[in-house]
Structure 1
């Protein structure tokens, strides 16, 4: 019985895993006070991000990140893009399919 449960669990994992998705673009540049990366996969997903340390050497240094990711929804076939900023005010995503968030001052 245990063998059957293990077999079924492995079968579910194998069938649920995406097949033949490969990375078609990958770049990165990491510096002491900044970074950049971009990744694209063969199924159309994309993710890019840039980060920069703000107030270097000051009392309150913080990293500010700007980025975006896109993916094609399996159900409706639409491509969705999320742009975001992450800084001392938190993670702030925007996208046509997301509700508008109040501005942080």
Structure 2
């Protein structure tokens, strides 16, 4: 009986550890294109059968604009657009988190600091100071 329980538990463990069927596993590319110019300009785009898409155009590592999209497990379309340049990667999209608003008291404090610069004392003159060694 113990052997039967051991074999049954091993069988159940293998069944639960087996990978579940993924509907995206059979996805294939439906559209694809790319163009690279000798002067460094490029663009590419692709789409897959399961709704994933991406496109980008730019200039040889200095500037790029593009976007990508996919469908969430809930069936909602998620879209991200971006700009990448000397200021870094700047994504935009409804899915991305946004910071909370700055409280009014903090804004008031920052405005006070901006309009009232800090007083800096003049440096103590070195020639008036004697150093004993």
The CA RMSD measured in Å over matched residues stands at 2.5
Structure 2: segments with no counterpart, 5+ residues: 1-13, 100-133
**Which structure shows the higher helix fraction?**
2
Runs of 4+ in 1 over 3 A off after TM superposition: 14-18
The two structures have a TM-score, normalised by structure 1, of 0.68
- TM-score normalised by structure 2 residue count: 0.54
Match of 1:88 in 2: 86
Q: Deviations over 1:49-85 (max 9, x none)?
A: 00125xxxxxxxx6110000000001x2110100001
Q: Indicate conservation of the 8 Å contact 1:24/1:40, yes or no.
A: yes
Q: Which structure has the bigger radius of gyration?
A: 2
Structure 1 segments unaligned to the other structure (5+ residues): 1-7, 54-61
Q: Which structure has greater strand proportion? A: 1
